[in-house]
Structure 1
Amino acid sequence: MVCSMSRKGNCWDNAPTESWFNSFKNERVFGERFVTRDAMKAAAFEYIEVFYNRKRLHSTLGYTSPAGFLKDWINTREEEKQVA
């Protein structure tokens, strides 16, 4: 992960990143102690790849998971191709 920094007085660039890190810290990291860096990396990978991208509901996607949203989008595109 790369730290994101914007220019002084330009707070909007970092809003999505700050929101994501807030979710990550509150839903996965808060209150947990990791013995090794590898344990932390494994927990971060599990959170992102298993939970956040596949199961967690996102309000900006109509309260579906990113994987579900992508599946619905692909199905819609295929239906549009069949009609055309």
Structure 2
Amino acid sequence: MSRKANCYNNAITENFFGHLKEELFHRVRFHNTEALTKALHEHIDWYNTERIPTKFNGFNPAEYRAQRPAS
């Protein structure tokens, strides 16, 4: 968390939760907590490994990290 009135560190978190709500919660109604937990784990796995953001030039995050030179 950032200091009071300084929201720079919260931008990444707000972006993720915005995508999560838009892509998961607004489309599905969960009947129990197990289904919600499973869907959250699947979505986070997809978000971190399979999705292709425009800033990665057609690569998913795992491929993009693999092509970067080690520092």
TM-score by length of 1: 0.68
Q: Distance in 1 between matches of 2:58 and 2:33?
A: 33
Task: Give deviations 1:5-40, integer Å, cap 9, x for gaps.
Answer: 543311112000000011111112213110111110
Task: Give deviations 1:30-64, integer Å, cap 9, x for gaps.
Answer: 13110111110100001111x21221012343342
Partner of 1:56: 51
Give the CA RMSD over aligned residues.
Answer: 1.9
Percent identity for Structure 1 against Structure 2: 34
| Structure number with bigger Rg | 1
More helix by share: 1
Q: Which of 20, 31, 36 is the equivalent residue of 1:35?
A: 31
Residue segments in structure 1 that go unaligned for 5+ positions in a row: 78-84
Runs of 4+ residues deviating >6 angstroms: none
- 1:2-81 residue pairs with structure 2 within 5 A? 5-49=1-45, 51-73=46-68, 76-77=69-70
TM-score by length of 2: 0.78
Residue segments in structure 2 that go unaligned for 5+ positions in a row: none
Q: Once structures 1 and 2 are overlaid, which stretch shifts more, 30-39 or 58-67?
A: 58-67
